[in-house]
């Protein structure tokens, strides 16, 4: 493509900068450049390759996969400038189950070793395992040893993938990237090798996910299909994670961003015929108390014949944040027979699952069973379970109940020029900046922020920083929800309950 006339000077300046950077990677090239002010095309290519292999230079290729622009130059750059196995030198690993270091030179005469870098779940061809050979050779059929899992798996053929077609491989040597079908146990990141000379290479740690969606089936009864389909997708792509939130009862799919997750959902539909809706995940709030009380839980029912009777007195008090739940049996004498006391605790535990404010689990409190009464005929475990539940709910309302929200620790990496905007935005999300680090020309903002405020942070940060900002976060602790926000949450819960 010809360079537009109005960009000629800019292109010339960029080329001069590139040539200078290449010359700095080689003393001989630098001497010539200083003498003549220019390098030949062959010298530029040789110098660029040397700089890339040493890690001093990083080529950037512009293009679009969806529009098929720039793919051929990209492949040329990979072939011409990226390091071959010989350039990389021996790879280090460990003897399985030990810290003993093992090495494998990239030679055909060395023991076979390879790393699985991807698995593909094909609904027709089955499971395909893609790997790169680091050392030795591999024949077209036989058995391979998975040293990561300490198992042996048999295969019938190996092949190269060329687009959608498969080209049989007669033998594989160091540097080859190939595929094998129907390995049942081998997964991404596993090492495969010669069983008589085992080695385990370090797995590449997947990048932390930054955005999550709750997924639900569009058709009733597809829950099991979703689980199996997502499991196969996460085998293909370790940067996708999936779990079921026990509190909110949602299936959560997490990835590197909204587009990443949308592509995964489209693939689920195309490959496995499963359609899902994406929703913003519910925030796993909790409820607790700030005060203490002594309360009676009394259940009496008489409907002819044997009735139901249970009576208990409870002391309820808060525990430190993260204290969970404690139950103490402080009954003295036989005011409540021993066989009924566990039922009181069971009723309390079940009542804690749905709090009195907004239906969230209740945590961080101690309940002591201190007194009560029973009836020799009408009392039962069920009656005392109901009495315990009634007493607990009544007592919590008298103990200044409050909502808790999850707080996350967040690290945001951004170019210097966006620092003010990002900090201002973080403050508007009720966040607290706790420090900053410098990384090259970037700043890393460290802080804490409520999870509820960053559920859609990825696209917002991308917009604020022209796509140049990244972030990671981890759960830290729970804190009390500000009253003005708690009121909205409680009102929404009551409205939904009335609607249901």
The whole-model pTM stands at 0.73
Q: What was the pLDDT predicted at 152?
A: 94
Q: What was the pLDDT predicted at 331?
A: 92
Choose the final residue of a domain: 61, 81, 101.
81
Q: What was the pLDDT predicted at 334?
A: 83
Q: What was the pLDDT predicted at 498?
A: 86
Residues 353 and 455 both lie in one domain:
no
Is 234 part of any domain?
A: yes
Is 199 part of any domain?
A: no
DSSP-assigned letter for residue 398:
T
Residues 299 and 379 both lie in one domain:
yes
**Percent of the chain with pLDDT strictly greater than 70:** 99
Distance CA 188, CA 191 (A): 9
Q: What was the pLDDT predicted at 232?
A: 85
| CATH number for position 475 | 3.30.70.240
Choose the final residue of a domain: 81, 113, 146.
81
Q: Which of 76-85, 112-121, 445-454, 456-465 has the highest mean pLDDT?
A: 445-454
Residues 388 and 412 both lie in one domain:
no
Residues 333 and 305 both lie in one domain:
yes
Is 205 part of any domain?
A: no
Is 418 part of any domain?
A: yes
Residues 225 and 307 both lie in one domain:
no
Q: What was the pLDDT predicted at 85?
A: 80
Residues 39 and 110 both lie in one domain:
no
Q: What was the pLDDT predicted at 490?
A: 95
Residues with Cβ within 8 Å of residue 378, at least 6 apart in sequence: 300, 302, 306, 307, 308, 309
Structure tokens that stand for 224 in this block: 């099991």
Q: What was the pLDDT predicted at 499?
A: 85
Residue 271's pLDDT band, with cuts at 50, 70 and 90, is confident
For 362-372, the pLDDT digits (tens) are 999 999 999 99
Distance CA 410, CA 450 (A): 10
Is 492 part of any domain?
A: no
The domain in which residue 338 lies consists of 287-399
Q: Which residue has the higher pLDDT, 401 or 68?
A: 401
Residue 121's pLDDT band, with cuts at 50, 70 and 90, is confident
> Based on the structure, what is the number of domains in the chain?
5
Residues 394 and 296 both lie in one domain:
yes
Residues 331 and 385 both lie in one domain:
yes
Q: What was the pLDDT predicted at 408?
A: 96
User: Which of 470, 410, 472, 416 is closest to 446 using CA atoms?
Assistant: 410
Residue 88's pLDDT band, with cuts at 50, 70 and 90, is confident
Query: Does the pLDDT of residue 153 top 90, yes or no?
Result: yes
Q: Are 379 and 307 in contact (CB under 8 A)?
A: no
| CATH number for position 353 | 3.30.230.10
Residues 238 and 325 both lie in one domain:
no
| CATH number for position 136 | 2.40.30.10
Distance CA 471, CA 458 (A): 8
Mean pLDDT across the stretch 164-173?
A: 88
Q: What was the pLDDT predicted at 40?
A: 93
How far is C-alpha 291 from the geometric centre of its chain's CA atoms?
37
Residues 252 and 349 both lie in one domain:
no
User: Which of 70, 1, 58, 2 is closest to 25 using CA atoms?
Assistant: 58
What angle is formed at CA 217 by the lines to CA 450 and CA 250, rounded to 5 degrees?
A: 30
Q: What was the pLDDT predicted at 19?
A: 93
Q: Are 387 and 310 in contact (CB under 8 A)?
A: yes
Mean pLDDT across the stretch 445-454?
A: 96
For 245-260, the pLDDT digits (tens) are 988 899 999 998 888 9
Residue 162's pLDDT band, with cuts at 50, 70 and 90, is confident
Residues with Cβ within 8 Å of residue 386, at least 6 apart in sequence: 299, 308, 310, 347
């Amino acid at each position: 493509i010809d360079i537009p006339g109005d960009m000629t000077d800019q292109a010339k300046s960029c080329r001069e900068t590139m040539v200078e950077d290449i010359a700095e990677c080689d003393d001989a090239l630098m001497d010539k450049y200083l003498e003549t002010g220019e390098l030949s095309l062959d010298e530029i290519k040789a110098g660029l390759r040397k700089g890339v292999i040493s890690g001093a230079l990083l080529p950037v290729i512009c293009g679009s996969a969806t529009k098929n622009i720039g793919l051929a130059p990209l492949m040329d750059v990979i072939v011409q400038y990226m390091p071959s196995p010989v350039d990389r030198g021996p790879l280090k690993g460990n003897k399985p189950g030990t810290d003993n270091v093992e090495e494998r030179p990239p030679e055909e005469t060395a023991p076979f070793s390879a790393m699985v870098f991807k698995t593909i779940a094909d609904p027709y061809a089955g499971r395909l395992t893609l790997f790169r050979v680091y050392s030795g050779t591999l024949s077209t059929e036989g058995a391979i040893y998975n040293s990561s899992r300490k198992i042996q798996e048999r295969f019938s053929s190996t092949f190269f993938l060329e687009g959608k077609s498969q080209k049989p491989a007669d033998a594989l040597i160091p540097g080859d990237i190939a595929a094998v079908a129907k390995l049942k146990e081998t997964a991404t990141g596993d090492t495969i090798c010669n069983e008589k000379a085992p080695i385990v290479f370090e797995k590449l740690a997947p990048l932390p996910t930054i955005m999550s969606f709750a997924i639900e089936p569009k058709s009733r009864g597809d829950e099991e299909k979703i689980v199996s389909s997502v499991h196969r997708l996460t085998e293909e792509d370790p940067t996708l994670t999936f779990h079921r939130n026990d509190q909110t009862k949602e299936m959560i799919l997490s990835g590197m961003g909204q587009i990443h997750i949308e592509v995964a959902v489209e693939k689920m539909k195309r490959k496995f015929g499963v359609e899902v809706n994406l929703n913003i995940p519910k925030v796993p709030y909790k409820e607790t108390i700030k005060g203490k009380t002594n309360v009676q839980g009394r259940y009496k029912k008489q409907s002819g014949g044997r009735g139901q009777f249970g009576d208990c007195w409870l002391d309820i008090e808060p525990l430190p944040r993260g204290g969970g739940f404690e139950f103490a049996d402080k009954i003295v004498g036989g005011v409540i027979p021993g066989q009924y006391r566990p039922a009181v605790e069971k009723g309390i535990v079940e009542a804690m699952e749905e709090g009195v404010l907004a239906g969230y689990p209740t945590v961080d409190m101690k309940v002591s069973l201190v007194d009560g009464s029973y009836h020799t005929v009408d009392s039962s475990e069920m009656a005392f379970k109901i009495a315990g539940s009634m007493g607990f709910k009544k007592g919590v309302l008298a103990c200044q109940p409050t909502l808790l929200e999850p707080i996350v620790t967040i690290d945001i990496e951004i170019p210097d020029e966006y620092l003010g905007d990002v900090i201002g935005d973080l403050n508007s999300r009720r966040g607290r900046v706790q420090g900053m680090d410098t990384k090259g020309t970037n700043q890393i903002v460290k802080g804490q922020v409520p999870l509820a405020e960053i559920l859609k942070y990825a696209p917002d940060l991308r917009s604020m920083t022209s796509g140049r900002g990244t972030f990671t976060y981890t759960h830290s602790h729970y804190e009390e929800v500000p009253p003005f926000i708690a009121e909205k949450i409680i009102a929404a819960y009551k409205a939904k309950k009335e609607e249901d």
